[in-house]
Amino acid sequence: MLRKHITFVVHGGRADRPDLRQTVLWVRDRGHAVEVRTTWSVGDAAAHAAEAADRGTDVVIACGGDGTLNEVVNGLDGRDTPLGVIPLGTANDFARQTGIPEEADHAMDVILRRNPVRIDTASMNGRRFLNVSTGGVGAEATQETPADAKASLGPLAYAITAVRKFAEDKVRHATFTSEGFGLDVDFLTFAVGSARVTGGGTMMTPDASVTDGLLDLCVIEAMSRSAFARLSLAVKKGEHLGLPGVHYAQLPWLKVVGAEPLSVNLDGEGVEAQICDYRARRSDLLVHVHHLPGEEPGVDFAR
């Protein structure tokens, strides 16, 4: 077996997990050169990833949730070092749709036994994201969901907060423009996907592909609570395309301009911007996955 230089970038709140520690020890016992870098504040994961890549590590492994993963992806920007994922967060949206197991040792098997594949990412105002960016109710719910609620309820916590945000009846207005596309609308939520799933399994951009070099845009217009309640079940399953109040397009780039600053989420990381410049970035990331989103899963990797 080829010995590798492996760098684990571990969210500080997950560093004491016995399963992760056991996995790191197991990898060392197999003869791999292992470094562990722990994060304590915002920006640490990106800095650790960039430093490891510049030193020539063979793979950088993001150990945490989608927020940690997003930072590592940004740290690897401009560097062709493969990414690995050990999902330890609440939603783990990217891991779920690419077949990466929740168990740390089985996720490690994917990294050691699967060659990395090249996939698209996207960016908003220059910040890279791997999965989906949301705006409006969805983004606000993600940002305002308490950590203790996420720990106890998991992805359900996001849905509870979203219901509360919807009850505020706040009007959100924006223009969405791209090549051959224009939309000026009051909206509840929008999603820009390089991949398909956000918010703990909601398929806002169900036709997105990580290999087509395009962004998938979904905008849901402002509507009554009862209408949105009926629509939300279809959105969860990715069966909302073509329904009243839903706009969907596949675009090489997108500019979103809000009537006022917008709450926007990038793979779980919240920002505020009145102008959002989205770009598709074709084939610019190497990553170890079990399968690509939308593909049939292959064999399992339990040892």
How many other C-beta atoms are found inside a 10 Å radius of the C-beta of residue 40? Answer: 9
Helix, strand, or coil (residue 246)? strand
At 10, list the tokens. 């571990």
Q: State the residue for tokens 């967060």.
A: 89
Catalytic residue among 140, 144, 269, 272: 269
CA–CA separation, 22 vs 228, rounded Å?
Answer: 45
Number of H helices, E strands in the chain: 9, 13
Give whole-number Cα distances, 6 to 16, 40, 98, 274, in Å: 19, 20, 21, 40
The pLDDT score that the predictor gives to residue 6 is 98
Closest to 276 (Cα-Cα) out of 295, 293, 261: 261
pLDDT at residue 288, as a whole number: 98
Residue ranges of E strands in 103-180: 117-124, 127-129, 132-136, 172-178
In tens digits, the chain (303 residues) has pLDDT values of 589 999 999 999 999 999 999 999 999 999 999 999 999 999 999 999 999 999 999 999 999 998 899 999 999 999 999 999 999 998 899 999 999 999 999 999 999 999 999 999 999 999 999 999 999 886 655 554 445 544 443 443 344 344 454 445 678 999 999 999 999 999 999 999 999 988 778 899 999 999 999 999 999 999 988 898 889 889 989 999 999 999 999 999 999 999 999 999 998 888 999 999 999 999 999 999 999 987 755 444 433
**Contact predicate 150/129, CB 8 Å:** no
Q: What is the CA radius of gyration of the chain?
A: 19
User: CB of 87 within 8 A of CB of 107?
Assistant: yes
E strand segments, the chain: 5-11, 33-39, 59-64, 83-87, 117-124, 127-129, 132-136, 172-178, 181-193, 215-221, 246-251, 253-266, 269-287
Q: What is the pLDDT of residue 71?
A: 96
List of residues 6+ apart from 13 with CB closer than 8 A: 64
Q: Is 269 assigned a catalytic role?
A: yes
Other Cβ atoms less than 10 A from the Cβ of 303: the count is: 8
